[in-house]
């Protein structure tokens, strides 16, 4: 089965598996009709369901923000497993906005028009469709292999299962939801969300990384030989995140794992500073290619003990006592 849709204006959130993070704000109704169609009345859910059924979608026109967002992910907030699932293909004749394919883990994009940077979790391949550029997610290549595809301006070592991104294109959510033993080396800066929800992969950034680096990390390792943006390590469940310096708070709402920073960082609760161990030093020496003394200068942060909250209560005699908040 295929869906063909023509747009007379640019439309946001096409093929967005999160429906603009519907569980947070409910601003986008998945069953609402996509605006500015010519002769059809497809809903946002129709397009996602077609991809979930391994179908094909042909779009004439331009896609705006959040195009193919989390494509191929069985979203937990909608009762899914959180893992990648079999996914179809999208062909679009027009232009697509920045962050195309953020969080994308499966399926294939064929794009005829221009693509704004930064990219999402996608890399370009030699196309097998005339007039279109072809893209797959880094996660798909790492966990399912490159097959007969050939990368453009980047490298993939099949034996080592290592992807080297050296085309200087900023990408977000690289290796998102990766569940396989693999490595990604980014030669240059990374955009936001590097290693999002990754369970096993090791992602090395030979540069700086943006906001939400290591956010929701679930067992993977993210190594940044530079600075990271705000909210690094937020909602971490497991794994390791290491960097030189953080531009904002780190570790907010983290549940597990460890964060290492060369310079002291500001933490969001429940993250707290812990003493470096010998094993921590060994990890830092290997990850950051540094000496023993230098490695012990790093700061380690983990989830601290939950602190009991108290409230001030003014008594009749004017005194103040602190009472526990249940």
Identify whether 13 is part of a domain: yes
Give the model's pLDDT for residue 138: 99
What's the average model confidence in pLDDT over 309-318? 58
Q: Where residue 316 falls among pLDDT bands split at 50, 70, 90?
A: low
Q: Average per-residue pLDDT in the chain?
A: 95
Total domains, the chain: 1
Identify whether 245 is part of a domain: no
Is the pLDDT assigned to residue 248 strictly greater than 60? yes
Give the model's pLDDT for residue 102: 98
Is the pLDDT assigned to residue 326 strictly greater than 60? no
What's the average model confidence in pLDDT over 224-244? 98
Identify whether 247 is part of a domain: no
Identify whether 165 is part of a domain: no
Give the model's pLDDT for residue 240: 99
Is the pLDDT assigned to residue 307 strictly greater than 70? no
Identify whether 142 is part of a domain: yes
Q: Where residue 110 falls among pLDDT bands split at 50, 70, 90?
A: very high
What's the average model confidence in pLDDT over 91-96? 98
Tell me the HSE value of 205 on the side-chain side, using a 13 A CA sphere: 32
Identify whether 65 is part of a domain: yes
Identify whether 265 is part of a domain: no
The 10s digit of each residue's pLDDT in 129-174 is 999 999 999 999 999 999 999 999 999 999 999 999 999 999 999 9
Identify whether 314 is part of a domain: no
The 10s digit of each residue's pLDDT in 38-84 is 999 999 999 999 999 999 999 999 999 999 999 999 999 999 999 99
- Structure-block tokens of residue 158: 């099949």
Q: Where residue 26 falls among pLDDT bands split at 50, 70, 90?
A: confident
The residue among 132, 228, 147 whose CA lies nearest residue 186 is 228
Domain of 89?
A: 1-152
Task: Output Rg (C-alpha) for the chain, integer angstroms.
Answer: 22
What's the average model confidence in pLDDT over 195-199? 98
- Structure-block tokens of residue 163: 């992807």
Between CA 82 and CA 73 the distance in angstroms is: 6
Phi/psi for 289 (5° steps) reads: 50, 55
118 preceded by cis ω (within 30°)? Answer: yes
């Amino acid at each position: 089965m295929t869906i063909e849709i023509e747009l007379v204006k640019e439309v946001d959130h096409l093929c967005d598996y999160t429906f603009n993070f519907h569980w947070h704000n409910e601003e986008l109704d998945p069953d609402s009709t996509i605006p500015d169609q010519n002769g059809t009345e497809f809903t946002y859910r129709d397009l996602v369901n077609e991809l979930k059924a391994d179908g094909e979608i042909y779009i004439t026109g331009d896609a705006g923000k959040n195009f193919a967002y989390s494509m191929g992910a069985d979203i937990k907030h909608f009762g899914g497993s959180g893992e990648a699932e079999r996914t179809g293909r999208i062909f679009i004749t027009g232009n697509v906005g920045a962050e195309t394919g953020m969080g994308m883990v499966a399926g294939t994009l064929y794009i005829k028009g221009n693509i704004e940077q930064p990219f999402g979790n996608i890399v370009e391949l030699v196309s097998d469709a005339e007039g279109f550029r072809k893209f797959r997610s880094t996660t798909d290549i790492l966990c399912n292999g490159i097959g007969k595809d050939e990368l453009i301006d980047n490298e993939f070592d099949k034996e080592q299962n290592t992807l080297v991104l050296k085309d200087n294109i900023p990408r977000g959510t690289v290796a998102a939801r990766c569940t396989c033993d693999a490595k990604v080396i980014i030669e240059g800066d990374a955009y936001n969300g590097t290693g999002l929800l990754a369970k096993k992969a090791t992602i090395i950034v030979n540069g700086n990384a943006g906001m939400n680096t290591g956010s929701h990390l679930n067992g993977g390792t993210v190594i940044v030989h530079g600075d990271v943006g705000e909210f690094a390590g937020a909602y971490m469940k497991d794994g390791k995140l290491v960097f030189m310096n953080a531009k904002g708070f780190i570790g907010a709402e983290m549940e597990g794992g460890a964060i290492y920073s060369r310079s002291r960082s500001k933490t969001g609760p429940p993250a707290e500073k812990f003493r470096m161990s010998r094993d921590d030093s060994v990890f830092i020496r290997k990850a950051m290619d540094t000496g023993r003394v230098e490695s012990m200068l790093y700061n380690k942060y983990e989830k601290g003990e939950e602190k009991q909250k108290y409230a001030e209560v003014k008594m009749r005699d004017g005194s103040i006592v602190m009472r526990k908040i249940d």
